[in-house]
């Protein structure tokens, strides 16, 4: 899957809607990454739970590609964080070993959330 193919997939998913959410955060010094992660939940398509594992694995490959845009990786991280599968969990564990510098906190939070979803 290419980055362009990823965004075509996402557009089709977004055509079905996004998850309803209410969130907010207080601007606090040093919490920019966490605040960005909380706001990133708006990136989740309504059908995120039904994304096939084969696509989840492709998303994981994109995540490891340094040529992929940071915004694309944010969406991927958010999707993987909420996908209750070992494929999502493995991709996040691998990425957290060497994340893009600007996504370090975002990636850590995504992994923690995915671990929570995978405990159930």
- Whether 42 has a pLDDT exceeding 90, the answer reads no
Residues contacting residue 24 through CB under 8 Å, at least 6 positions apart = 38
Residue 7 class from Cβ within 10 Å (0-12 exposed, 13-18 middle, 19+ buried)? middle
Kindly report the pTM of this predicted structure. Answer: 0.81
Model confidence at 48, pLDDT cuts 50, 70, 90, reads confident
Percent of the chain with pLDDT over 90: 60
Model confidence at 37, pLDDT cuts 50, 70, 90, reads confident
Q: Please report the pLDDT score of residue 28 as a whole number.
A: 53
DSSP class per residue in 75-93: HHHHHHHH--SHHHHHHHH
67-93 per-position pLDDT tens digit = 999 999 999 999 999 999 999 999 999
How does the average pLDDT of the chain come out, rounded? 86
């Amino acid at each position: 899957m290419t980055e362009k193919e990823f965004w075509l997939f996402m557009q089709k998913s977004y055509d079905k809607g996004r998850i309803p959410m209410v969130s907010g955060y207080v601007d606090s010094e040093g919490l920019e990454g966490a605040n960005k992660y909380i706001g990133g939940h708006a990136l989740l398509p309504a059908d995120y739970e039904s994304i096939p594992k084969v696509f989840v694995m492709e998303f994981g490959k994109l995540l490891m590609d340094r040529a992929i845009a940071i915004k694309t990786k944010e969406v991927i991280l958010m999707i993987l964080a909420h996908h209750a599968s070992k494929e999502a969990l493995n991709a996040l564990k691998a990425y957290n070993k060497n994340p893009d510098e600007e996504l370090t906190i975002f990636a850590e939070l995504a992994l923690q959330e995915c671990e929570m979803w995978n405990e159930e």
